[in-house]
Amino acid sequence: MIPRIGPLELVIIVLIVLIIFGAGKLPQVGGTIGKGIREFRRAKEGMDDDSQTDSAKVRSETTEATGAKSGSKK
């Protein structure tokens, strides 16, 4: 079971980040993390779109192949 992060833990994490990066670099670090999250979401959405397009393509090819086979049996 994953333990919950409480307010004390958040304060400790923020203090460690401040010590490592300094107050001047925090906006730059936050911006970089935000850009990374946005790129990840766009890539994920692109993969979903590609998989839907591929699924539709496979369905149409299957329908065409099935139609061709059933048409030749008549």
- Is residue 4 a part of any domain in this protein? no
- Is residue 51 a part of any domain in this protein? yes
- Is residue 31 a part of any domain in this protein? yes
Distance (Å, whole) CA 18 – CA 13? 9
| Number of domains forming the structure of the chain | 1
Q: What is the structure's pLDDT at 67?
A: 64
- Is residue 12 a part of any domain in this protein? no
46: domain range?
A: 25-56
User: Greater confidence, 39 or 69?
Assistant: 39
Q: Whole-prediction pTM value?
A: 0.47
- Is residue 19 a part of any domain in this protein? no
- Is residue 69 a part of any domain in this protein? no
User: Greater confidence, 10 or 61?
Assistant: 10
Per-residue 3-state assignment (H helix, E strand, C coil) for 20-69? HHCCCCHHHHHHHHHHHHHHHHHHHHHHHHHHHHHHHHHHHHHHHHHHHH
Give the model confidence (pLDDT) of 13-64 as tens digits.
989 988 998 888 888 988 999 999 999 999 988 877 666 666 666 667 666 6
- Is residue 46 a part of any domain in this protein? yes
- Is residue 43 a part of any domain in this protein? yes
